[in-house]
Structure 1
Amino acid sequence: MEALIVVVVVLFIAALLVASSSVRVLREYERGVVFRLGRLIELKDPGLLLLIPAVDRMERVDLRVVTLNVPAQDIITRDNVPVRVTAVAYFKVIDANRAIIDVENYYVATSEIAQTSLRAVLGKADLDTLLSEREQLNADLQQVIDQQTEPWGIKVSIVEIKDVDVPANMQRAIARQAEAERERRAKVINAQGEFQASKQLADAADVMSRNPATLQLRYLQTLVEIGASGNSSTVIPLPLDILTPLLGKLHGTDVGDTHDGTSAAGADAPVEDIDRSPRNGVPRLGV
């Protein structure tokens, strides 16, 4: 009797083990790929799943987006510059059956494809393109990787270049190039400003030449600006039409000339003579 009880208990425990091994629960983001005696049967949806013990074998497939960190790759650009590039890729399984049947390990396979595609695509670009046109290179990488993983039921949605490590000597060269570019832009902007200012000054001079009163107003405005500057000494410029009569009186002549080209003081005005007798080694001017 005791032996019978032991047998019953053993059979009950074995039945529980078999039942537990045949019951599966799939989450909402999982799918079950079931093989029955080695043959693929229909894909199992989320929920409670019963398998035939020792007959069915199931592979879980996660349908969520997977973040793949592409290891750093040493790349020679088209202009023969060695760089070290790291990237990140985002992909998801869209066909669970093909992801299990067509490739042994879709995660490892996708990682290897991403590394080789990174070297192939970026090796065709020069350094300036690699540093300035990231968006276009990201789009090219995504397209190339997705085309190769599509037969496996893998969809690569995003590929982003993370870091580009440039050698120190190239960094100095890039810095010098950027500095030269900024200096060129500064000179161009300065030249454009000078050109525009000269055009405005020419227009202002043309307007002032039509009305002499504007010159006098500009003169008074200049005096106001000089007086408001707070300088200890003030320089007052005098117009030429005021200085000319004074200079003429100092020389004993009038301002204007006669119609025949002689001075207004008369044609018989004494002419200056040069006393060439040496006096202290310097010729003397006399009237």
Structure 2
Amino acid sequence: MWTDLAFYLPILVIVVAFLASAIKILREYERGVVFTLGRFTGVKGPGLIILVPLVQQMVRTDLRTVVLDVPSQDVISRDNVSVKVNAVIYFRIVDPDKAIIQVADFLQATGQLAQTTLRSVLGKHDLDEMLAERDKLNDDIQEILDAQTDAWGIKVANVEIKHVDINESMVRMIARQAEAERERRAKVIHAEGEQQAAEKLLEAARTLSLQPEAMQLRYLGTLSSISSQHSSTIVFPFPIDIGRFFAGPDRKAAE
């Protein structure tokens, strides 16, 4: 009995080792890049994969979206302002064979390319554009990265600039600039109001000048509103035309 066990045990171990190296199970989001005697022979998966031991090798790839955090980069804007900018990139593998064969480490290659592209694109814009037009900058960076990583079988889905860090002196300068801009707008609005008021007064004067009696009625209406304020003393300019109107008959008789 022990002799039979000693005979079959090595065979059993060899069979188990053979099956372990030949049978592979890939998850739904995984693919296997298969090489036969060192040559690429196809992409397999997901599910049960059977390989020929010692003849075929398989490299697993993950097709899920990868979130890559780009570290802060020192960027000098087009208007010579030094800022620190970091971003996050979302990408995934669409061609597993290219991601394994065309580049040694697609994750590191994409990260380094993202850093250089971030500095290159942002260096072409002013500081105000970095702060106000992030969506446009994100689209520009995503388009450049997607075009360059296409040869690696990688699809860059999205790029988001997270922070634009500015030193304290520049923050104070921006605050003073914003304050001056608000003051300028307030002065312009006040001047426009004065201009519109002057135009309306001129229009009213032209309307009243068409009939002298309208001006007299305006004076009487103003006097009526002042008298309703219960003031003991009322100083009111007396129009000369009204005096002439009341003195008209007597003056004509005297003449």
Shared fold (TM-score, shorter chain, > 0.5)? yes
TM-score (norm: length of structure 1): 0.78
When the two structures are aligned, how many residues end up with a matched partner? 251
Name the residue aligned to 1:187.
Answer: 187
- Contact map agreement 2:216 2:242 (CA 8 A) in 1: no
Give the 3 Å change call, closer, same or farther, for CA 222–52 of structure 1 in structure 2. Answer: farther
Larger Rg: 1
Matches within 5 A, 1:100-119: 100-119=100-119
Q: Secondary structure at the match of 1:42?
A: strand
Matches within 5 A, 1:202-217: 202-217=202-217
Name the residue aligned to 1:11.
Answer: 11
- Equivalent-residue separation in structure 2 for 1:165 and 1:192 (angstroms): 38
Give CA-to-partner distance per residue, 1:164-191, whole Å, 9 cap, x none.
0011111111111111111111111111
Structure 2 unaligned regions, length at least 5: none
Once structures 1 and 2 are overlaid, which stretch shifts more, 175-184 or 15-24? 15-24
- Contact map agreement 1:89 1:158 (CA 8 A) in 2: yes
Name the residue aligned to 1:275.
Answer: none
- Contact map agreement 1:223 1:236 (CA 8 A) in 2: no
Residue type of the partner of 1:94? V
Once structures 1 and 2 are overlaid, which stretch shifts more, 96-105 or 114-123? 114-123
RMSD across aligned positions (CA):
2.7
- Equivalent-residue separation in structure 2 for 1:87 and 1:33 (angstroms): 31
- Equivalent-residue separation in structure 1 for 2:139 and 2:233 (angstroms): 69
Residue type of the partner of 1:237? F
Greater relative contact order structure (CA < 8 Å, 6+ sep) = 2
Q: CA deviation at 1:217?
A: 4.2
- Contact map agreement 1:87 1:163 (CA 8 A) in 2: yes
Name the residue aligned to 1:25.
Answer: 25
- Equivalent-residue separation in structure 2 for 1:53 and 1:38 (angstroms): 13
- Equivalent-residue separation in structure 1 for 2:24 and 2:212 (angstroms): 103
1:240 paired with 2:239, answer yes
Once structures 1 and 2 are overlaid, which stretch shifts more, 36-45 or 129-138? 129-138
Give the structure with the higher percent helix: 2
Name the residue aligned to 2:57.
Answer: 57
- Contact map agreement 1:227 1:234 (CA 8 A) in 2: no
Structure 1 unaligned regions, length at least 5: 246-253, 259-263, 267-287
- Equivalent-residue separation in structure 2 for 1:233 and 1:13 (angstroms): 121
TM-score (norm: length of structure 2): 0.86
Q: CA deviation at 1:150?
A: 1.5
- Equivalent-residue separation in structure 1 for 2:134 and 2:142 (angstroms): 12
Question: Percent identity between the aligned chains?
Answer: 50
Q: CA deviation at 1:17?
A: 3.3
Residue type of the partner of 2:74? D
Name the residue aligned to 2:72.
Answer: 72
- Equivalent-residue separation in structure 1 for 2:224 and 2:58 (angstroms): 96
Give CA-to-partner distance per residue, 1:43-79, whole Å, 9 cap, x none.
1132211112222211122222221111111112222
Name the residue aligned to 1:282.
Answer: none
Name the residue aligned to 1:222.
Answer: 222
Give the 3 Å change call, closer, same or farther, for CA 208–102 of structure 1 in structure 2. Answer: same
Once structures 1 and 2 are overlaid, which stretch shifts more, 32-41 or 206-215? 206-215
Q: CA deviation at 1:234?
A: 5.9
Q: Secondary structure at the match of 2:28?
A: coil
- Contact map agreement 1:146 1:156 (CA 8 A) in 2: yes
Q: Secondary structure at the match of 1:181?
A: helix
Residue type of the partner of 2:61? V
Q: Secondary structure at the match of 2:71?
A: strand
Give the 3 Å change call, closer, same or farther, for CA 125–56 of structure 1 in structure 2. Answer: same
Once structures 1 and 2 are overlaid, which stretch shifts more, 117-126 or 199-208? 117-126
